């Protein structure tokens, strides 16, 4: 007995032709021999529809695979921890530190220029505590959020929610800092219950330290007392039989006030509800405010608490969450003007924190929902804030969009097959085709008499005729028909890549890569002139959005410099106008550069931010080296300068082009402007070339170890070819000048031909 067709069919119902998926058998109902008299089944070859779908699948899969390989950034989190930092639908929260002379003038730690020592790529940059911080301390976490501070003299403790990667519930973690939050020692899990915990509000009362975490999953609000601070806590009391979320207790006018949200009540609006209770003690009993609920409004209004309230200039201030666009989108700050058992009034005031213009490349580019700010004994204010680069539910959203894109691909492939004539039918005209052998009388009668069956056959018949009708209308063999086919193919490829990006490409953020759990930033420096302004505008707009770029310095060699307003930048831009048009200006000592790391990058090179971030991580591993993206091998007798292909043929390199390279700004620039390098600088000015070759020689001459390191970019584009403002248009002449420089510099500083670094020596494969 044959099989029931349930998919696309290229045959008629009664005929013996093949179904689209391949082989088929044709037997008569009596079991006698077939027409060939051999007694065997009559087989037929694979149909054109099957071949079409197979080729389409292979072609689209290859394109999608190439797209993934070349254009999609790697998942940075896979490099952070083998246990934690998994993609989580709640987000990828992390914690940053801010400083200021008031709670309304807070700046991130990177702007405070905090240095611990000279042995790594500092100053410190946010975020300072991440999922990797917790996971590295043996409590694997997908994210860290809800930070609260507790200050004891010069020691700062940080309590936070850590989303456990194994149990998938929140635990309370704790860390300690002795340098005002620049670095944190993870102390472990402070509190772990059988239910989800978050929002660990910590405060003093009567000589004891208490924690009141959110545990609404348990259905009540609990108060814990420190037995051995900060890692051992004991349940002191269930202070309220209500599942309040994000609650805090403050003392004001001789009473204790409890603020929290109960989303479980009938008619309560989630993230838009707030209640107040008061008592003579944090242990209760608690009486409700006369106006409860204080708020039951739109979730964007800031009703849900967003951290610890603070007192400034004689006024209490409360932080609230704006959850309008997504959960925890941003913080709103309110000044409390009246707080009594019968009255409550607050007005919104500016928070004073600028949102990042780097979008999802910023650690807090998508949302930030909790702030704790406290004053230190020195008078300085310190704050912690959590942030995320993706909105809530991002994983589910991307999966749905990806599946929708793939479904669109399937539909377009079918339409494409119809136009080519490879797909002639979509569905069978009958539930039980006549060539499948015996059928029961009941099923046959149902098929003939059922209204549903009749309508289905009519629908399928019309649908199957769509193929011929479509071909008749579009006529694929004509020019217009061919254009339609080309458009369908392009749209299919775009949809396929879009679907792959949504499903496998992660959030799309090109994140910073930490080194030993620490983030930092670098200065981006480029040299240009008036004829290349088009390049510069595109360059600044793109690279200023990279996660670790702190500032862009433009060395302006010739012509009228642009106004800063002409440049679309997410970071500060400084234009340094030079008096003389010299390539030596590239490495001029610049005391205004605040970072140790500088990326010298020509304004006509465009590459993904992820490649830049990987190069920065490699440089921080070897800050004494030049780390870049374009390797060269100078060899031969006499020495010759040749392209990267030559280096790869000989499996090694001894130079890195500094037109795309990281270096130590102090070390590199002082070497270049030393008395020793004066003769080399004169050669550069004479030939208007070879400044990068000279720096490679100076590095090599000052070290007996490896001085260069290569990182392979996924792709890079030379935009000068589009603007027509390339510096070196004649490659042969350019290489000839550089070969001459090699010989001159070898006489001055010694040969570098023996200093050969091999490709593919890194374990991460970034130098293939």
Which of 88, 322, 692, 764 is catalytic? The answer is: 692
Spatial CA neighbour of 429 closest among 449, 394, 455, 407: 455
- DSSP track, 347-402: EEE----PPPTTGGGSTTSSB---EEEEE-TTS-EEEEEEEBSS-TTHHHHHHHHH
Do the beta carbons of residue 109 and residue 98 sit within 8 Å?
yes
Do the beta carbons of residue 710 and residue 759 sit within 8 Å?
yes
Do the beta carbons of residue 123 and residue 515 sit within 8 Å?
no
C-alpha span between 659 and 643 (Å, rounded): 14
C-alpha span between 648 and 227 (Å, rounded): 63
Do the beta carbons of residue 330 and residue 394 sit within 8 Å?
no
Do the beta carbons of residue 99 and residue 112 sit within 8 Å?
yes
Residue whose tokens read 């458009």: 487
CA atoms within 13 A on the CB side of 517: 19
Contacts of 48 (CB under 8 A, 6+ apart): 10, 421, 422
* 106 strand-pairing partners: 100
Q: What share of the chain is helix, strand, coil (3-state, %, to 5)?
A: 30, 25, 45
Per the annotation, the verdict on 692 as an active-site residue is yes
- Crossing angle of helices 678-687 and 731-749, in 10° steps, is 160
Contacts of 591 (CB under 8 A, 6+ apart): none
C-alpha span between 272 and 119 (Å, rounded): 48
Catalytic residues: 692
């Amino acid at each position: 007995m044959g099989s029931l067709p349930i998919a696309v069919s290229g045959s008629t119902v009664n005929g013996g032709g093949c179904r689209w998926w391949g082989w088929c058998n044709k037997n008569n109902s009596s079991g006698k021999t077939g027409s060939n008299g051999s007694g065997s089944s009559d087989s037929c070859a694979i149909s054109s529809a099957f071949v079409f779908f197979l080729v389409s699948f292979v072609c689209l899969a290859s394109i999608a695979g190439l797209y993934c390989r070349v254009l999609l950034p790697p998942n940075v989190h896979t490099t952070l921890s083998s246990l934690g930092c998994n993609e989580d639908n709640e987000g990828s929260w992390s914690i940053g530190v801010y400083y200021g002379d008031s709670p309304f003038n807070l700046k991130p730690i990177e702007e405070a220029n905090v240095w611990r020592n000279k042995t790594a790529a500092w100053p410190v940059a946010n975020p300072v505590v991440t999922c990797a911080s917790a996971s590295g301390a043996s409590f694997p976490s997908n994210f860290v959020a809800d930070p609260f501070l507790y200050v004891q003299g010069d020691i700062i403790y940080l309590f936070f929610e850590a989303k456990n990667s194994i149990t998938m519930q929140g635990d309370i973690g704790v860390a300690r800092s002795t340098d005002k939050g620049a670095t944190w020692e993870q102390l472990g899990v402070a509190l772990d219950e059988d239910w989800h915990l978050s929002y660990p509000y910590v405060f003093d009362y009567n000589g004891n330290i208490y924690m009141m975490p959110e545990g609404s999953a348990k259905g009540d609000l609990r108060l814990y007392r420190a037995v051995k601070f900060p890692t051992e806590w004991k349940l002191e009391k269930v202070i309220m039989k209500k599942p309040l979320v994000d609650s805090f207790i403050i003392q004001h006018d001789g009473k204790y006030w409890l603020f929290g949200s109960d989303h479980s009540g009938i008619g309560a609006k989630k993230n838009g509800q707030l209640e107040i209770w008061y008592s003579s003690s944090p242990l209760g009993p608690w009486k409700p405010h006369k106006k409860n609920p204080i708020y039951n409004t739109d979730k964007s209004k800031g009703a849900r608490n967003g951290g610890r309230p603070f007192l400034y200039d004689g006024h209490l201030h409360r932080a609230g969450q704006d959850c309008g666009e997504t959960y925890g989108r941003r913080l709103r700050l309110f000044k409390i003007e009246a707080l009594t058992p019968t009255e409550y009034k607050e007005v919104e005031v500016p928070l004073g924190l600028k949102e990042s213009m780097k979008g999802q490349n910023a650690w807090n580019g998508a949302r930030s929902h909790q702030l704790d700010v406290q004053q230190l004994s020195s008078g300085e204010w310190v704050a912690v804030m959590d942030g995320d680069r993706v909105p809530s539910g991002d994983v589910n959203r991307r999966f749905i969009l990806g599946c929708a894109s793939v479904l669109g691909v399937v539909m377009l492939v079918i339409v494409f097959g119809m136009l080519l004539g490879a797909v002639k039918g979509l569905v069978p005209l009958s539930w039980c085709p006549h060539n499948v052998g015996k059928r029961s009388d009941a099923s046959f009668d149902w098929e003939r008499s059922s209204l549903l069956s009749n309508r289905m056959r009519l629908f399928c018949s019309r649908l199957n005729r769509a193929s011929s009708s479509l071909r008749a209308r579009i006529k694929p063999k004509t020019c217009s028909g061919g254009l339609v086919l080309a458009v369908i193919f392009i749209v299919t490829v775009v949809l396929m890549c879009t679907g792959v990006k949504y499903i496998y490409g992660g959030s799309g953020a090109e994140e910073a890569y930490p080194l030993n759990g620490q983030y930092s930033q670098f200065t981006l420096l480029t040299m240009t002139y008036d004829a290349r302004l088009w390049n510069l505008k595109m360059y600044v707009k793109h690279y200023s959005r990279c996660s670790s770029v702190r500032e862009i310095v433009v060395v302006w060699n010739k012509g009228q410099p642009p106004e800063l307003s002409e440049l679309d930048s997410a970071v500060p831009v400084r234009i340094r106008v030079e008096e003389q048009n010299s390539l030596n200006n590239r490495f001029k000592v610049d005391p205004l550069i605040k970072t140790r790391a500088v990326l010298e990058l020509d304004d006509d090179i465009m590459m993904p931010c992820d490649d830049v971030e990987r190069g920065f991580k490699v440089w921080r591993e070897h800050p004494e080296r030049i780390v870049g993206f374009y390797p060269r091998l100078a060899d031969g007798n006499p020495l010759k300068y040749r392209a990267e292909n030559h280096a790869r043929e000989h499996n090694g390199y001894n130079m890195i082009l500094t037109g795309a390279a990281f270096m130590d700004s102090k070390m590199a620039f002082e070497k270049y402007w030393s008395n020793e390098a004066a003769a080399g600088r004169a050669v550069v000015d004479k030939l208007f070339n070879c400044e990068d070759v000279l720096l490679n020689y100076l590095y090599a001459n000052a070290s007996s170890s490896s001085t260069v390191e290569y990182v392979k970019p996924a792709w890079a584009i030379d935009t000068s070819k589009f603007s027509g403002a390339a510096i070196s248009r004649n490659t042969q002449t350019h290489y000839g000048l550089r070969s001459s420089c090699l010989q001159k510099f070898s006489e001055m500083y010694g040969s570098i031909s023996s200093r050969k670094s091999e490709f593919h020596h890194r374990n991460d494969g970034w130098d293939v």
